[in-house]
Structure 1
Amino acid sequence: MANSTRSADGDSNESPLTRRRWLALCSGAAMAGLAGCGANPDDPNATLSSESTGSEGGSNSNAVTTELHMRAPVSWTPSDSNVNPFSTQGDIEYWMEYMWWESPSYPNAVGEPIYWLAKDISVQGGGCEVLITLDENHTWWDGSPVTAKDYHTTQLITDYKEYGGPDETDDGWEVVDKYKIKNVLSGPANPAVKKVDYYTPVAKHDYYKSWLEKFEDASGEQAIKGVAKELNDHTVTLKDLTDKGLGCGLWKPAQLSPTNAVHEKYQDHPRADWTNLETFNWHLLSEKQKAIQALNTGKLDFGDKLTDQARTNDQTEVFSRFGMSGVPKLTMNWNNEHLARRPVRRAIAYLIDSEEVVKVIKSAHGIKYNSRKTVFGMSSSLISDWVSDGFVDKLIDYGSTSKPEKAASVLKKAGYSKNGGVWVGPNGSKVSGLTYLTPPWNIYKSVGKYFSSKLDEFGFKNNLVVPSGSGFYKRWDETYDFDLCNWFTTGSHPAYAYSTVEVSGLGNYDEIAVAMEKTEGCTVNRTEPELDQPTSEKLQHPIRPKFPKQIGQKSLNSGAGQTLYPLKWHKIMLQTQDTQEVKQLTEKLAWYVNWQVPHVGFYDEVKVYWGNTNKFDFPSLKADDHPHAEETKAEHRTTAMEFLMKGHISAKTK
């Protein structure tokens, strides 16, 4: 699932986890459409469009205002950005691009599909074909229609750039007619997963067809890589985006300055009449104190940061709050002799005080998250939809508060003793000098400082390391130079929460597995892949360990366990048409994580939106808040505030 940066207060000066960086970390992801923003660097106040906004898009004759002001909480220099959707050289966060482009679909916080460019997505042919029907009312900013050919070109260029060409991928793309495109799959797809998998913003065929021709004319792997590099280096400015009609979103950039990015409504967008707003001003306020000042002086109408300040402001109030799929967690590297022992990991699980972590974040950042009861590898809001009643209560209860006495008991049973305030293992090795790595995101730094000291007090001596953004990614993704690391688990479906292709899921296991043979016909692949080695390369997780059959059993009796098959089970969850089978596998994987403790979640992320409810009508989770709520209610539970700019906000009328 697409996610925003982890710096939830948005005030870090470090580079955020952009969608481009996410792609670099998740090499198997086939996502394109990456966007930035550019303008004429010689004119920082450039007017990018001379078109009149008019008032055709929705009745605004009695509106109290036609403008909305919001904060862009990122360190962003529009004139230095690149809006080439196939370039990795922009500085935007992934959610920014969804204002300027449309994707066929997008998952909301609980995995439900949001349809934007698509009118319908249906899984057919026994699960091996997906028919995407586009909404015929979408047009590019030059007035030409957005068609299946545009999306087809986007996908083919992505195949060349990411994989070396369509022949090197398992899937195929066919244009059925002007507004229908078929995705032919190598195996069946679980509809609940696949319908939200088409979140790549579409690129314009007329502009990028020359690049597709270059790829098709390239002879050999090196030639294709050369075209890919040339495309990656190609610059598209924000002026190009507007002048050449390369965007198709509801909000069209109009003016830029170093402190404000003004957007005007694209009047021919199919949702233009959903809102009476004509303009929104995107104030570039990366510094927290300046943003607080702007909020206190009434210059901000809407946002998802500075929640405490918004609650105490006379002009704003919280209008929506809901649980998300993100679970920031402590990842443990089993290359360390102590962390490779389950009792040590369980001791850490008992030590984590989720309720206190939530209080620390609330005090330091003004954001109220939800505490976690125990370890199971998914968000609390998500697991309730995928396990049977009472399942969580059967798991090992590590608790939402710290239990140092249980942690000590677990260690002593494993042969550990305490000497001079430091725990010592059965072979005399001290639990000291642990490298505790955290990314330079404000909330994660606060959690790191808090829990590092708690580990020290308990007798697990550690050194907290907070490198720069690039320094963190090198240690996290290349050298593995850490013992503990603050990272996150995310996933709007169990198949993503327990993914085998990334450490943000169950673990990165695919890299050491022999490719699974394809099954004949459109049938679920239930084979057990061969392994090149018994453990993962990165964190030394065992791939096929034994774990108890009985949920809640703390020790494994000889010969009484069951075997974990993460790659096989993950493939089944991605392919099966049987919801009940997904639930059964979810329980197995949740129990394994609870028993093995490869990582421990600190808290459940929560999304909060606030706004000036005296001047504006905002959406909530209710289904009757506006005329289009029933067909788009999934959009009311989204994870980036720009998604709510797709016509759901209007000014009050006099």
Structure 2
Amino acid sequence: MITGFAIEYGGLLDASGNITPIAFKEWSYDEDRHFLEVTLRDDLKNWNGNKFTSEDLLAYYSVSHWLNPESSRWKNLTAPDKSTLQYHYKEPQNPQIAATYDVHGTVVGYSKELWEPWMNKLRNAADQSERDKIAEELKNFTVSHQKMMDKGWGTSAFKLKSVGEQNIEYEVWDGHRLADEIEVRTLRLPFAATNSREDELITNDKVDFGSAPLSGRLKGAKPDHIQNLTTWEAKWLIKMLINWKNREYLQDANVRRAMACVIDSENIVSNVGQGYSIKIHSGMDTNFTKQYAGEQANEYLDYGTKKNYEKADEFLEMSGYSRENGTVLDPDGNELETLRFVTGTGNQWFVAGRAASSQLKEYGFPVEFTSVERSTKLDIIENKMGDWDLTTESHYAAGTNHPISYFNWGSFWGWRLTKATFSPDANARSNIKKWLENGEESSPYNGKPLTPEIPTQVGAKALDGETKTINIYDLFEESFTPISEERTKEIISDLSWAWNFHLPDIDLYTTRQGVWGDTKNFEWPSEEKLQLVNGSGTRNAVKQGLVKFKDN
């Protein structure tokens, strides 16, 4: 309804997880009363000249809360004055994580006039059934671009000017605080419903900037002056998700380590056509590894970025396995049961899975590779645990954009100990609590350890020295409470070392983010300023007046 060019954001995360303020002047967490308070800039206005206030913000986010107040993480939201919004939480929060939820990417640009009627309707509903009916109405709720222009709804430096069949046009709004600093006065954004259409526009020199790295995507030759401005590691890895339940040998850490040594991450990146190889199996991207594991990560077990059969053989031998004539044998000299590797079709998960499957098979693991529609695959890996052993999925700091999410006990984007896909439901939480109370050491769902033991000596290969036991569920849940930064780092450090030691799943590669632009006609800001996570860094640079014309 309103594109990223029409609104401001509260703040934006950079590649290291730090928040740069945009529309929010400041924010703080009240540990006694459990609320996050954000303060809007004093000079924040709508295109119609009216001051944008916390009441506008309250109306929009209250709709999100009242759609299902039971599942909302907020108890309520309040606006004590026109510059301040308070997010009141049901439970005490870790201030760092609360900020990544409710400061980073907060949409600042939706008018109270637009959302207050919906807020009141949901708040006054008799029960959740009635709110669900209202939610269905909301799915069909639209606001025309013409109404946006007539009402002056928007807070960005660029005001919506016109919408045609081929493009949408913005012009600098003189009432914005940055108006005098912006050299690029008009934006014309062509519609590109498909990647092929976007590639056609790039090839024919019809666009000046955009997001996503250029390499590996353009079929035609691009103009020489259209270049990647910067690329960087995304917070989104692709992993080989392992079901420990069916094949006993997959429960052996040294077998999984051998598999990691066989996986040629560099080759997978080449097959996929973008990304970065896994240099350290820390369970996180490189930036978060440096921040939270620090020097400890230098001592982690090294599984390599290219295939290393010699090291794989060594790990197998540590548990009595062997490889003879290109076939992996168990400690009794028998061939292993076949690994059923299932992926979705026609996407990067498929390409990475096919490559990993071939690499494992080439080394000597028995692998049967199958691809199905993604919806079918999701059903299999969630509901038919007896039918598969390996698949590919994202390993992603989802929801929080904080490293703790890489170790989520209830998501296949994390550690995944229960029946769950993207996030745990009430049943998943109830189940894992019951298992822990009953003293279960491993998940009855997929066989992964609930309370793994790890060496206190980082880099040790075996549990023959001093060890400690960690509770993945408890550590993950503790990280969301109001603990210190030091304790947060300690939790993530333990979980990261546990990931490296046990390899519950095996990361295959890290995806790549990037932005590109016209380097002949425009001066672009530093890579640091372009690497803001929410939306396109080039878009934000244009909105902030950081892009200048070259004097050619």
Q: Give me the TM-score of the superposition, normalised by structure 2.
A: 0.83
Find the counterpart in structure 2 of residue 498 from structure 1: 407
Whether the 8 Å contact between 2:226 and 2:516 is mirrored in structure 1 is: yes
Whether the 8 Å contact between 2:443 and 2:450 is mirrored in structure 1 is: yes
Whether the 8 Å contact between 1:106 and 1:196 is mirrored in structure 2 is: no
Whether the 8 Å contact between 2:349 and 2:392 is mirrored in structure 1 is: yes
Q: 1:342 aligned to 2:237?
A: no
Find the counterpart in structure 1 of residue 215 from structure 2: 307
How do residues 119-518 of structure 1 correspond to structure 2 at under 5 angstroms? 119-125=25-31, 128-164=34-70, 169=73, 171-198=75-102, 199-202=105-108, 203-256=110-163, 259-285=166-192, 291-303=198-210, 304-307=212-215, 313-337=223-247, 338-361=249-272, 365=273, 367=274, 369-389=275-295, 391-416=296-321, 422-425=327-330, 430-438=336-344, 440-441=346-347, 443-475=348-380, 482-491=388-397, 492-507=401-416, 511=425, 512-514=428-430
Unmatched runs of 5 consecutive residues or more in structure 1: 1-36, 38-82, 84-96, 518-527, 623-632
SS at match of 1:172: strand
**Distance in 1, Cα, partners of 2:308 & 2:33:** 47
Whether the 8 Å contact between 2:42 and 2:83 is mirrored in structure 1 is: yes
Q: C-alpha displacement at 1:600, in angstroms? A: 1.8
Structure 1 residues 158, 433: closer, same or farther in 2, change over 3 A?
Answer: same
Q: 1:564 aligned to 2:470?
A: yes
Whether the 8 Å contact between 1:128 and 1:184 is mirrored in structure 2 is: yes
SS at match of 1:398: coil
Whether the 8 Å contact between 2:204 and 2:222 is mirrored in structure 1 is: no
Whether the 8 Å contact between 2:202 and 2:222 is mirrored in structure 1 is: no
| 1:501-547: CA deviation from partner (whole Å, max 9, x where unpaired) | 42223335665445999xxxxxxxxxx98579655576442222222
Whether the 8 Å contact between 1:106 and 1:115 is mirrored in structure 2 is: yes
Out of 319-328 and 238-247, give the one that drifted further.
Answer: 238-247
How many residue pairs get aligned? The number is 529
SS at match of 1:325: strand
Structure 1 residues 294, 209: closer, same or farther in 2, change over 3 A?
Answer: closer
| 1:46-99: CA deviation from partner (whole Å, max 9, x where unpaired) | xxxxxxxxxxxxxxxxxxxxxxxxxxxxxxxxxxxxx7xxxxxxxxxxxxx533
Structure 1 residues 148, 282: closer, same or farther in 2, change over 3 A?
Answer: same
Identity %: 21
Q: C-alpha displacement at 1:133, in angstroms? A: 0.2
**Distance in 2, Cα, partners of 1:126 & 1:216:** 27
Q: 1:646 aligned to 2:552?
A: no
Whether the 8 Å contact between 1:422 and 1:432 is mirrored in structure 2 is: no
**Distance in 1, Cα, partners of 2:15 & 2:363:** 36
Q: C-alpha displacement at 1:590, in angstroms? A: 1.1
Q: C-alpha displacement at 1:616, in angstroms? A: 0.9
Out of 290-299 and 561-570, give the one that drifted further.
Answer: 290-299
Structure 1 residues 289, 183: closer, same or farther in 2, change over 3 A?
Answer: closer
Q: 1:103 aligned to 2:12?
A: no
Find the counterpart in structure 2 of residue 542 from structure 1: 449
Whether the 8 Å contact between 1:439 and 1:472 is mirrored in structure 2 is: no
Out of 172-181 and 102-111, give the one that drifted further.
Answer: 102-111
Q: C-alpha displacement at 1:132, in angstroms? A: 0.5
**Distance in 2, Cα, partners of 1:650 & 1:261:** 22
Q: C-alpha displacement at 1:246, in angstroms? A: 4.3
**Distance in 2, Cα, partners of 1:493 & 1:127:** 23
Out of 503-512 and 612-621, give the one that drifted further.
Answer: 503-512
Amino acid at match of 1:484: L
Q: C-alpha displacement at 1:384, in angstroms? A: 0.9
Q: C-alpha displacement at 1:377, in angstroms? A: 0.3
Amino acid at match of 1:336: N
Q: Pairwise CA RMSD of aligned residues?
A: 3.5
Whether the 8 Å contact between 2:227 and 2:517 is mirrored in structure 1 is: yes
Find the counterpart in structure 2 of residue 600 from structure 1: 506
Structure 1 residues 490, 262: closer, same or farther in 2, change over 3 A?
Answer: same
Whether the 8 Å contact between 1:544 and 1:565 is mirrored in structure 2 is: yes
**Distance in 2, Cα, partners of 1:466 & 1:249:** 45
Whether the 8 Å contact between 2:167 and 2:191 is mirrored in structure 1 is: yes
Amino acid at match of 2:548: S
Amino acid at match of 2:349: Y
**Distance in 2, Cα, partners of 1:255 & 1:470:** 39
Find the counterpart in structure 2 of residue 63 from structure 1: none
Amino acid at match of 1:497: Y
Out of 588-597 and 99-108, give the one that drifted further.
Answer: 99-108
Q: C-alpha displacement at 1:452, in angstroms? A: 2.2
Unmatched runs of 5 consecutive residues or more in structure 2: 419-423
Whether the 8 Å contact between 1:607 and 1:639 is mirrored in structure 2 is: no
Q: C-alpha displacement at 1:276, in angstroms? A: 1.9
**Distance in 1, Cα, partners of 2:223 & 2:40:** 43
Q: C-alpha displacement at 1:580, in angstroms? A: 2.3
User: Is the strand fraction higher in 1 or 2?
Assistant: 2
SS at match of 1:602: strand
SS at match of 2:312: helix
SS at match of 2:20: strand
Whether the 8 Å contact between 1:170 and 1:186 is mirrored in structure 2 is: yes
Amino acid at match of 2:533: T
Whether the 8 Å contact between 1:127 and 1:189 is mirrored in structure 2 is: no
**Distance in 2, Cα, partners of 1:397 & 1:589:** 17
Whether the 8 Å contact between 2:73 and 2:90 is mirrored in structure 1 is: no
SS at match of 2:52: coil
Structure 1 residues 221, 340: closer, same or farther in 2, change over 3 A?
Answer: same
